[in-house]
Structure 1
Amino acid sequence: MRLEIAVVFGRLTKREFGSEIEALVCEYLTQQGCSIIETNFLCKLGEIDIIASYDKTLIFVEVRYRKKSGFGGAAESVNFKKRQRIINTAQFYLQQNKLTNKTQGRFDVFCVEGNGQRMQYNWIKDAFSAEW
């Protein structure tokens, strides 16, 4: 199944465009059997774009978009510092919702690259791990 992104460039702000991409990723994940629990979870430690569940596993999804891959693709943009921020935010989420030691979790990266009608996606499941 293809992720269809029909967004007119130049009419949306960067934030609006990012929200459109994330909404489409949520739609795609739902089509794949995931349940969306929360989007744009924000705390002082950072943000998690999408929190979903699938088969008793909590999935923390980082959505990355790159128009061009000249400075590295979307996947490469999730560097060590970004991964640590996501891990810390996920641990806070688990503590806040009293889910520590009660659920399996994983970190996925959903990469969208290109522009216009030439966008491609890559869903990297279990892209990195953390000590729970």
Structure 2
Amino acid sequence: MDKQTRGKDAEQKAWHWLIKHGLKPVSRNYLCKLGEIDLILLDGATLVFVEVRYRADKRFGGAANSVTANKQHKIIRTAQHFLMTHSQFQQHNCRFDVIAYETPSEENKPMWYKDAFRL
């Protein structure tokens, strides 16, 4: 399985995993000129923007650590664009989570980093 296929598979698993844990689906793979947000869901009244990461090898810091400051900035700008174009969510509190799959053996048990970074 190539890297892109593994990433999409991880996103699919994270989507279903988060819904199973009570979040309500809003959007997947939101794309604009500023970037992409993997998953967007509602956790009660909070709009959650989720970055999904998969790493088969922890040698380079693991999945969660791969969400760099630059990547966080792109996600935040993309989230702002989403809010500007989807007025029904503008009054919601927002949160940025990371779902990290660290190794192939942990594919069904991700690490969920709630409120992983802020505006």
Question: Which ranges in structure 1 are unaligned for 5 or more consecutive residues?
Answer: 1-11
State the TM-score, normalizing by the size of structure 2.
Answer: 0.92
Q: CA deviation at 1:17?
A: 1.9
Identify unmatched segments of 5+ residues in structure 2.
none
Q: CA deviation at 1:118?
A: 4.7
1:121 pairs with one of 110, 115, 119: 110
- Report deviation, 1:101: 4.6
CA RMSD of aligned residues (A): 1.4
Counterpart CA distance in 2 for 1:40 and 1:101 is 19
After the TM superposition, which parts of structure 1 deviate over 4 Å for at least 4 consecutive aligned residues? none
Output aligned runs, 1:17-28, within 5 Å.
Answer: 17-28=6-17
Report the residue type matching 2:39 in the other structure: I
Structure 2 Cα separation of the partners of residues 44 and 56 of structure 1:
27
- Higher helix residue share: 2
2:84 match: 95
User: Which residue is equivalent to 1:43?
Assistant: 32
Match of 2:23 in 1: 34
Equivalent pairs counted in the alignment come to: 118
* Seq. identity, %: 41
Answer with 1 or 2: which has the greater Rg.
1
Q: Which amino acid letter does the alignment assign opposite residue 47 of structure 2?
A: L
